[in-house]
Structures are given as C-alpha cells and as structure tokens.
Amino acid sequence: MHALVRIIKNDDGDLQSSWKDWHLVDPGNPAGPATLCTGEFFGAGESACEFETKAASRGGITCAVCMERLKAYKAIRL
C-alpha cells in the first residue's frame, strides 16, 4: 500500500490549481509527510494547508510530475 494526498489549499490558504490531483506521499522523505513532486509538507505540525489523504494498493496517482519522477526512479537498475 502507498499513501496519496490531495492538497486543496496551500499553506497560505490559496486554492491550489492542481487541487484535483492525487500526489504520492514521498516514502523516502525522513523529515515528515510531503508530496513527491514538490516536497510540500502537510499534516498536523507540518503546515497549515488543507489536504485529503487516502491509501491505495495500486495506482491512484494522477499528478503528472509525480508520475515522471516515479518513471525516472524505476529506470534505475540495481
């Protein structure tokens, strides 16, 4: 399962232009919950943005930038 977040209003209280997009919560960010694409933090004690979260076992990411980053990571052969 992976965590997804939709940022509705940013830290300043402004409506996000991409508020309908679901972003991947960066699983490698040790500083706290943040989006993969922009690194915007969310959650109690992290920021004052308005957000919605959900978990998905497969898919669900609709942010184009998050998808591009994931493709770049998947292209790396270990």
The domain spans of the chain are 2-74
Q: Mean pLDDT throughout 55-78?
A: 96
Report the predicted TM-score, pTM, of the whole model to 2 decimal places.
Answer: 0.90
DSSP 32: S
Res 41 pLDDT > 90: yes
pLDDT band, residue 11 (cuts 50/70/90): confident
For residue 26, with 0-12 CB atoms within 10 Å meaning exposed, 13-18 middle and 19 or more buried, which class applies?
Answer: buried
Which tokens go with 78?
């270990």
